[in-house]
Amino acid sequence: CGIFGIWGHDKAAELTYYGLHALQHRGQEGAGVVVSDGDKLKVHKDVGLVNDVFKDADFNRLSGQAAIGHVRYGTQGEGGSDNVQPLLFRSQNGSMALAHNGNIMNAYKLRGELEAEGSIFQTTSDTEVLAHLIRKNGRETNELSISEALQQVVGAYAYVILKEDKMYVALDPRGIRPLSIGRLGSAYVVASETCAFDLIGATFEREVLPGELITISDEGMEFTRFALREQRKMCAMEYVYLSRPDSNLNHVNVHASRKRMGMELAKEAAVEADCVIGVPDSSISSAIGYAEETGLPYEMGIIKNRYVGRTFIQPSQELREQGVKMKLSPVRGIVEGQRIVLIDDSIVRGTTSKRIVRMLKEAGAKEVHVRIASPSIENPCYYGIDMSTREELIAANNSLEEICEIIGADSIAYLSADGLERAIVKDKTIHQGICNACFTGKYPVTEEGRATISYVK
Ligand code: 5GP
Ligand code: SF4
Ligand code: MG
């Protein structure tokens, strides 16, 4: 998911809409905004892409100087409009809206406890659990109630919370999900990715720190911590696949890190070939790096139809297959008779690689050598990326030779976990750690709530 917030601007709702546009790649199932006019909170949200959701939005009604927004990518809870965020809660002593990116691992347990005490939930979203924890026993939404609620949830999370006269911003103690703050004139802005700042003309100020809680109001920003600072464990998949190439995460540009992944991969797994091709869009950066390192020409052997979105409705397997053909096409004149190195950023279930190898071979490619710019994904993610069961992961259930055969490649190789770390991490100080649990099985946070290694500030 993607989250956005702005405080202190006349056009808060419109700017949130623009910000969500820049974050659209982080979630295509739903979008929404909640705005405060200082007196009350107003909401506009629905299932669908940002553009569709806001097509009929009445921005005059959404007047106000503060807003938060969300694009939804469903990993937790069911689809449908109930789970579209921001979630808005109204009560006699003030309203509160929440937008969340990540996953709360102990949500089921907490929800059971809350329900036993009389809470009634509106959604199946893990985000709602935090709202109930904050307001438990009739407490107000403030720094203390939010801190205490955050201390009870375990997992990966970036939150923006809005009430009539304040905004709160929080990041999990490991900083697994990205979250940055910026300025737009005198206004404060927060966003999952810095590309949202660029789009609205805001300047990047700094990252939200792991375990930090920021309060924003007309008095300015105040910083506190709800957890001890631990070594950052930014999700490696943010760099590999999820984030936009023009974003910087933890002071590392995403495109540059992908290019280095391609270079590391070339050092580890070179192969005799005629050209290098990347799967659009997310693998182009690493394909450029691989080509640069090996000296092989980089070619545009696959083009993408930009009008077929990731949300292309896929009601059946047959139409799904058709969907990929509509989205990606081989450039026959380039691939015919060639020995190709095909770079993809990752293999999850194996569907994409399999189809593309077949497509290239049908277009006349002589050999297709698949090179993956990240290690093999053998473990589920519990931190908000959509691969939560071992059964669905091709690399958890097959050997390298079997995968090669299933996808029909002439050879296959993955980047090593060390190579990935070298590509992302500039120096291993407290700021620079990554989570790579889906590759290595070393989970930085477990449901018992105990982080595996602790670096206390
Ligand atoms: P596969 O087809 O093997 O299941 O998924 C790998 C492909 O999907 C890669 O091309 C990659 O760019 C993309 N991908 C990687 N991770 C994710 C994810 O978490 N969600 C979605 N929708 N696509 C992903
Ligand atoms: Fe990201 Fe993988 Fe860690 Fe999940 S397990 S947060 S996908 S690096
Ligand atoms: Mg891809």
Per-residue pLDDT tens for 355-367? 999 999 999 999 9
User: Are 50 and 178 in the same domain?
Assistant: yes
What's 362's domain CATH number? 3.40.50.2020
Pocket test for ligand 2, best of 75, 235, 389, 434 (most atoms within 8 A of CB): 235
Q: Is beta strand 411-414 parallel, antiparallel or unpaired with respect to 367-372?
A: parallel
Q: Which of 214, 229, 244 is the last residue of a domain?
A: 229
Task: Tell me how far apart the alpha carbons of residues 286 and 425 are, in angstroms, rounded to a whole number.
Answer: 16
Q: What tokens appear for 128 in the block?
A: 């709602």
Mean pLDDT value across residues 29-58? 95
Q: Is the pLDDT of residue 314 over 70?
A: no
Q: What ipTM goes with this model? A: 0.92
Q: Is 239 within a domain? A: no
Q: Which atom of ligand 1 is nearest to the CA of 282?
A: 12
Range of the domain at 287: 253-419
Tell whether pTM > 0.80. yes
Task: Tell me how far apart the alpha carbons of residues 87 and 78 are, in angstroms, rounded to a whole number.
Answer: 14
User: Are 273 and 357 in the same domain?
Assistant: yes
User: Are 349 and 389 in the same domain?
Assistant: yes
Q: Is the pLDDT of residue 66 over 60?
A: yes
353 Cα–ligand 1 center, Å: 10
Confidence grade of residue 453 (pLDDT, cut at 50, 70, 90): very low
Mean pLDDT value across residues 205-209? 96
Q: Is 247 within a domain? A: no
Q: Is the CB of 17 under 6 A from ligand 1?
A: no
User: Are 13 and 62 in the same domain?
Assistant: yes
pLDDT for the residue numbered 78: 62
Q: Is the CB of 344 under 6 A from ligand 1?
A: yes
Percent of the chain with pLDDT over 90: 81
Q: Which atom of ligand 1 is nearest to the CA of 310?
A: 22
User: Are 150 and 31 in the same domain?
Assistant: yes
Task: Identify which of 106, 362, 375, 47 has the alpha carbon closest to the alpha carbon of residue 236.
Answer: 375
pLDDT for the residue numbered 386: 83
Task: Identify which of 438, 425, 430, 345 has the alpha carbon closest to the alpha carbon of residue 384.
Answer: 438
Is the model more confident about 357 or about 321? 357
User: Are 166 and 268 in the same domain?
Assistant: no
Number of domains into which the chain is organized: 2
pLDDT for the residue numbered 311: 42
Return binding residues.
235, 282, 344-345, 381, 435, 438
What's 78's domain CATH number? 3.60.20.10
pLDDT for the residue numbered 319: 60
pLDDT for the residue numbered 454: 35
